[in-house]
Amino acid sequence: MSPKLVGCYEIKNSNLVKPDLNLVIGTRRKAGPNKPKNYLLIKSGNRFTYLSGMFPFTNDLEPKEGVFWYSLDYEGVNYILCLKRAENQAQITRIDSPDKFHKSYNIVELGAKITPKSPENAGI
């Protein structure tokens, strides 16, 4: 059964927590074209399951200090993750179709060597 990702989360260190779900932000030592520096895991008891890479959102969202946007893809469904570190809040929203919202781009689609922000710079 798929977890219900959509909703508001409390940020506790590298965890995104809501009553029925605990997500963990992981960091790779080395990012690659299809593997961004940061990714999400689902924590269930002592078990961790890979959820999605956290691709920095790169379209026409207005930059706001302390707010970071990422696109996620889980089981063929697109989501947007908004991290508000200063408020210890995060929100995941489902996108029915990237064309109906701001299109997210990963490194391959951009055709450029773009490295996701480091956790220190990304507020993670």
Identify whether the C-beta of residue 51 lies closer than 8 Å to the C-beta of residue 72.
yes
> Does residue 112 lie within any of the structural domains?
no
Looking at the domain assignment, is residue 40 inside a domain? yes
**Domain total in the chain:** 1
- On whether residue 55 sits in a domain, the answer given is yes
Report if residue 100 sits inside a domain.
yes
DSSP H stretches of helix in the chain: 107-110, 119-122
Residue 17 domain-assigned (yes or no): yes
pTM of the model: 0.73
Residues 43-91: tens digit of each pLDDT: 999 999 999 999 987 665 556 777 888 999 999 899 999 999 889 999 9
CB neighbour class for 110 (10 Å; exposed up to 12, middle 13-18, buried from 19)? exposed
What are 81-114's pLDDT values in tens digits? 999 988 999 999 998 765 444 444 443 333 333 3
DSSP code string of 8-37: EEEEETTEEEETTEEEEEEE-SS-BTTB-S
- 72 neighbors 81 (Cβ within 8 angstroms): yes
Residue 113 lies in a domain: no
Is residue 116 included in any domain, yes or no?
A: no
Instruction: Let me know the angle formed at the C-alpha of 111 by 68 and 104, rounded to the nearest 5 degrees.
Output: 35
Within-domain flag for 117:
no
Residue range of the domain that includes 13: 7-107
CA separation for the pair 123, 29 (Å, rounded): 17
The rounded distance, in Å, linking the Cα atoms of 42 and 75 is 13
